[in-house]
Structure 1
């Protein structure tokens, strides 16, 4: 069973998936920063505030022991106040749309490259296939025999 598991893990698809998850995590961090630090402040300025994620509606009372700001989404949420945080949801949706658009652009570029390579291959512009090892070996033998003068040069 351990051998089967090792074979499964060593397959290219599993390793590719692992690399994809790691790269995806790093890419998600970049996208989150792009959204939180660049795009959302502009969207927030357009809609009347710089912190778009602070848009929320309180659905329940604030505890009497609460000492934080009544306008702080994060503090109210930490205090257990039921909130309808539509600003945070909009931020997450915008994050998703940006990430999906970037992945779309990457896949579009890859598909165009693949189509161009297939077109070149179909039109005969692609690189010729490498000669089989036997042909290469026979050429080397022929060239060595020519160099020794064993066979006359071919015209």
Structure 2
């Protein structure tokens, strides 16, 4: 069981996923700062400093804070727009790099047979390990 866990943990997909989560967290902090510290002050100047989060009404003993919802929706759209722009810029930069062509080698009949034999032997080993 320990051997299987080690193989799972060291598999490339798990490591790639862990790196993606860490980078995603850092990127989330960047986009949140962009919206809160740069874009929202500019919108505040345009709208006269109006903050929607304080809007609410009371029904009986319940307080409905619809302004917080409106503010969250505005933040969502601003973050989505910021991400869209960043992805567009990254894609544009990525396209400018010269792309290399992959050369695909045609295997000889002998090489194909050897590959099939190798794959069959690996399957047999896995079956023996399970038993």
Regarding TM over 0.5, the answer is yes
Matches within 5 A, 1:36-55: 36-49=36-49, 52=51, 54=53
Match of 1:83 in 2: 65
Answer whether contact 2:53 2:65 (CA < 8 A) is retained.
no
Partner of residue 118 from structure 1, selected from 100, 106, 116: 100
Describe how 1:1-155 pairs up with structure 2 within 5 A.
1-49=1-49, 52=51, 54=53, 56=55, 58-61=56-59, 81-84=63-66, 85-113=69-97, 116-118=98-100
Whether the 8 Å contact between 1:55 and 1:88 is mirrored in structure 2 is no
Larger Rg: 1
> How many corresponding residue pairs?
101
Gaps of 5+ in 1: 64-79, 123-155
Higher helix share: 2
Structure 1's consecutive aligned runs of 4 or more residues displaced over 4 angstroms after TM superposition are none
In structure 2, the residue matched to 1:141 is none
RMSD: 2.7
Unaligned runs of 5+ in 2: 104-131
TM-score (norm 2): 0.62
Q: In structure 2, do the counterparts of structure 1 residues 104 and 17 end up closer, same or farther at CA, with 3 Å as the change threshold?
A: farther
1:52-74 deviation per Cα after TM superposition (whole angstroms, max 9, x unaligned): 45363x242486xxxxxxxxxxx
CA distance in 2, matches of 1:101, 1:2: 45
TM (norm. structure 1) is 0.53
* C-alpha spacing 1:112/1:9, structure 2 compared with 1 (3 Å): farther
Q: CA deviation at 1:98?
A: 0.7
